[in-house]
């Protein structure tokens, strides 16, 4: 018997018991659909973390001031403003593994241009911050040395601020007012998107640190001491992030004259490692979800075996008749094996439709990032075919080993 003839015979046998065939495929349908949907959700989470890592920049650490205690109450991180620009300079110069250390300070303010205004985050930075964050300018130029040293009234606009104030116009060389102070726009930052907390990183205005201290803050004590809110540290490629973190802590403890055993007046956060751990967690969760969903496929395979055994019993006389007219054992084996594989693959095809629909609903209704990849579809359908082959082989072999006379006598 040719493969095509065996397939047609198997299809007719399945069509003769359509309802039973559909119910048998139900486990495969649910299993394939669940595998596709769960992998899509897990892959979407992994893709989201990777996007955040790209937006953050590679090999990034953040040094922030530590907390203080008042009357036994701990006020939390960044309440002890002890970091300065000199600390950032020391980190960059004394630790060879550090590519750049960029001091930053943060405030908020209203930006006005013409009849448009927008409340946003205001950051005092230098040019090193763009290198530390892998954040190029979309248009314009960096701050020059005189502007950084002289507290010049120049700014970079984030993509969101530029869009809200200027629409499709080019903001470069335009003058905006920040807290009532006129500032010249010298650059527009490339879009970064949201960070891991869901905050819009492009909703920002950046200006030189000296400008923020002396013009926006008005030259208070923080300005005179050149204190900063944080230091963004970019480590060179191939370096041990953990070892560099320890060297940064050792250097700052020496600069702050921290006694042995005393609490550090600062905190070093390895942002890249945090995101990588989150990415690994997403991958493990994807694997667990896919494994749980794969159990449905195995259960569906057991259902196929049960139904095929029933089918063999019901068609014993048919098997004996086929053998009596010349069918060989391998022909009977092929016929029932093709029936099992057809059941499994048909269930897999319907499961793909179910999985795609479930993925779309999850992404739309739950507003989750999902990623439906062709590889996941092929893996699920291929696995369903293997399940049909594995669980269909025993009933098919049992049918092929029947004795023709005993099969014809079967009631």
pLDDT digits (tens, 9 = 90+) for 215-258: 888 765 555 568 899 999 999 988 888 899 899 999 999 999 88
DSSP 162-183: HHHHHTTS--TT-EEEETTEEE
Residue 375 pLDDT level (bands cut at 50, 70, 90): confident
pLDDT value at residue 77: 47
Which of residues 398 and 403 earns the better pLDDT score? 398
Residues facing 234 on adjacent strands: 60, 100
The residue ranking higher by pLDDT, 268 or 325, is 268
| DSSP per-residue codes, 201-260 | TTSEEEEEHHHIIIIIS-S-HHHHTTB-SEEEEEEPTT--HHHHHHHHHHHHHHHTTPPT
d(CA 292, CA 271): 32
pLDDT of residue 202: 93
**Quick one: how many helices (H) and strands (E) in the chain?**
14, 12
Are 41 and 100 found together in one domain?
no
Cα within 13 Å of Cα(299), Cβ side: 13
Q: Are 119 and 108 in contact (CB under 8 A)?
A: yes
Percent of the chain scored above 90 by pLDDT?
30
pLDDT of residue 368: 77
Query: What pLDDT is stored for residue 370 in this prediction?
Result: 83
For the segment 275-291, the average pLDDT, to the nearest whole number, is 71
Domain of residue 376: give its range: 3-52+277-408
Position 153 scores a pLDDT of 94
Judge residue 367's burial from the number of C-beta atoms within 10 Å of its C-beta, 0-12 exposed, 13-18 middle, 19 or more buried: exposed
Name the E strands within 114-180: 116-125, 137-140, 154-157, 175-178
Domain-embedded: residue 70: no
Domain end marker among 237, 264, 291: 264
DSSP line for 268-285? EEEHHHHHHHHHHHHHHH
Locus of tokens 């750049």:
100
The pLDDT tens digits for 336-369 are 888 888 888 888 888 889 988 988 888 888 777 7
The confidence score (pLDDT) of residue 73 equals 44
258 and 148, same structural domain?
yes
pLDDT of 51 > 70? The answer is no
The Cα 366–Cα 307 span in angstroms is 38
Query: Given 241, 264, 287, which residue is the final one in a domain?
Result: 264
Instruction: Judge whether residue 282 has pLDDT over 80.
Output: no
The predicted structure's pLDDT at residue 340: 84
State how far the Cα of 9 lies from the Cα of 301, in Å rounded to an integer.
21
Confidence of residue 70 (pLDDT cuts 50, 70, 90): very low
- Tell me whether residue 363 is in a domain: yes
What confidence score (pLDDT) does residue 365 get?
83
Asked if residues 294 and 35 have their Cβ atoms less than 8 Å apart, the reply is: yes
- Examine the pLDDT at 201 and tell me if it is beyond 50: yes
Task: Determine the average pLDDT of the residues in 157-166.
Answer: 95
Q: Do 310 and 172 belong together in one domain? A: no
Domains contained in the chain, number:
2
> Per the structure block, which two tokens stand in for 90?
């020391």
Entry pTM: 0.62
> pLDDT digits over 106-145, tens only?
999 999 998 999 999 999 999 999 999 889 999 999 999 9
Let me know if residue 57 belongs to a domain: no
* 125 within some domain: yes
The answer to whether 51 and 373 are in contact (CB under 8 A) is no
- Closest Cα to residue 275, out of 53, 44, 58? 53
| Co-location of 93 and 120 in the same domain | yes
Look at residue 102 in the predicted model and tell me its pLDDT.
94
Q: Are the CB atoms for 213 and 122 separated by under 8 Å?
A: no
Q: Do 308 and 363 belong together in one domain?
A: yes
pLDDT value, residue 55: 58
Residue 227 belongs to a domain = yes
Q: Is the Cβ–Cβ distance between 303 and 22 less than 8 Å?
A: no
Mark which of 232, 264, 296 sits at the end of a domain.
Answer: 264
Q: With a cut of 80, say whether residue 3 has pLDDT above it.
A: no
Place of tokens 């590519």: 99
- Categorize the per-residue pLDDT at 276 as very low, low, confident or very high, splitting at 50, 70 and 90: low
How many residues would you count in the chain? 411
pLDDT bucket at 323, cuts 50 / 70 / 90 = confident
Confidence band, pLDDT 50/70/90 cuts, at residue 72: very low
Identify whether residues 184 and 94 lie together within a single domain.
Answer: yes
> Are residue 314 and residue 249 in the same domain, yes or no?
no
Residue 273 above 80 pLDDT? no
pLDDT at 93 over 80: yes
Let me know whether 94 and 177 are in one domain.
yes
Angle between helices 329-365 and 18-56 (to 10 degrees): 50
Query: What is the pLDDT, as a whole number, of residue 331?
Result: 79
Q: Is 110 helix (H, G, I), strand (E, B) or coil?
A: strand
How far, in Å, are 37, 105, 373 from residue 363 at the CA level? Answer: 10, 37, 14
Q: 181 and 327 in one domain?
A: no
Q: Count CB-CB contacts under 10 A for residue 363.
A: 17
Q: How far apart are CA 118 and CA 166, in angstroms?
A: 11
User: Do 361 and 395 lie in a common domain?
Assistant: yes
Beta-bridged to residue 113, according to DSSP, are: 116
Judgement on whether residues 395 and 287 belong to the same structural domain of the protein = yes
Question: Average per-residue pLDDT in the chain?
Answer: 82
269 within a domain of the structure (yes/no): no
Q: Specify whether 374 is located in the same domain as 305.
A: yes
Question: Would you say residue 65 lies in a domain?
Answer: no
pLDDT at 233: 93
pLDDT value at position 197?
66
Judge whether 22 lies within some domain. yes
* CA-closest candidate to residue 291, choices 49, 42, 25: 42
pLDDT of residue 158: 95
């Amino acid at each position: 018997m040719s493969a095509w003839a065996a397939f047609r015979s198997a299809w007719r046998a399945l069509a003769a018991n359509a309802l039973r065939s559909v119910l048998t495929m139900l486990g495969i349908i649910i299993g394939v659909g669940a595998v596709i949907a769960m992998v899509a959700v897990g892959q979407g989470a992994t893709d989201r973390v990777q996007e955040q890592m790209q937006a953050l920049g590679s090999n990034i650490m953040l040094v922030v001031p530590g907390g203080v205690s008042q009357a036994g109450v701990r006020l939390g991180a960044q309440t002890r403003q002890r970091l300065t620009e000199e600390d950032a300079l020391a980190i960059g110069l004394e630790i060879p593994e550090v590519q750049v250390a960029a001091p930053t300070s943060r405030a908020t303010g209203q930006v006005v241009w013409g009849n448009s205004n927008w409340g946003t985050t205001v950051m005092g930075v230098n040019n090193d911050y763009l290198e530390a964050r892998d954040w190029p300018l979309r248009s314009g130029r960096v701050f020059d040395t005189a502007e950084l040293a002289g507290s010049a009234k120049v700014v970079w606009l984030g993509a969101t601020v530029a869009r809200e104030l200027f629409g499709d116009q080019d903001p470069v060389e335009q003058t905006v007012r920040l807290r009532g102070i006129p500032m010249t726009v010298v650059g527009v930052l490339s879009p970064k998107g949201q960070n891991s907390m869901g905050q819009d990183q492009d909703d920002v205005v950046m200006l030189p640190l000296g400008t923020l201290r002396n013009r926006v803050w008005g030259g208070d004590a923080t300005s005179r001491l050149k204190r900063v809110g944080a230091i963004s540290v970019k480590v060179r490629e191939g370096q041990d992030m953990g070892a560099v973190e320890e060297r940064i802590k050792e250097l700052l403890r020496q600069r702050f004259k921290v006694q042995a055993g005393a609490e550090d007046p600062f905190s070093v956060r390895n942002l890249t490692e945090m995101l990588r751990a989150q990415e690994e967690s997403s991958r493990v969760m994807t694997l667990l979800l896919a494994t749980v969903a794969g159990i449905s496929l195995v259960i569906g395979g057991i259902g196929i075996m049960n139904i095929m055994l029933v089918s063999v019993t019901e068609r014993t006389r048919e098997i004996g008749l086929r053998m009596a007219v010349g069918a060989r054992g391998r022909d009977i084996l092929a016929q029932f094996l093709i029936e099992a594989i057809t059941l499994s693959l048909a269930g897999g095809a319907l499961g793909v439709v179910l999985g795609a629909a479930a993925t779309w609903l999850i992404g739309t209704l739950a507003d989750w990032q999902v990623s439906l990849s062709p590889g996941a579809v092929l893996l699920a359908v291929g696995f369903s075919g293997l399940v049909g082959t594995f669980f269909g082989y025993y009933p098919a072999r049992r049918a092929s080993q029947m004795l023709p006379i005993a099969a014809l006598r079967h009631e």
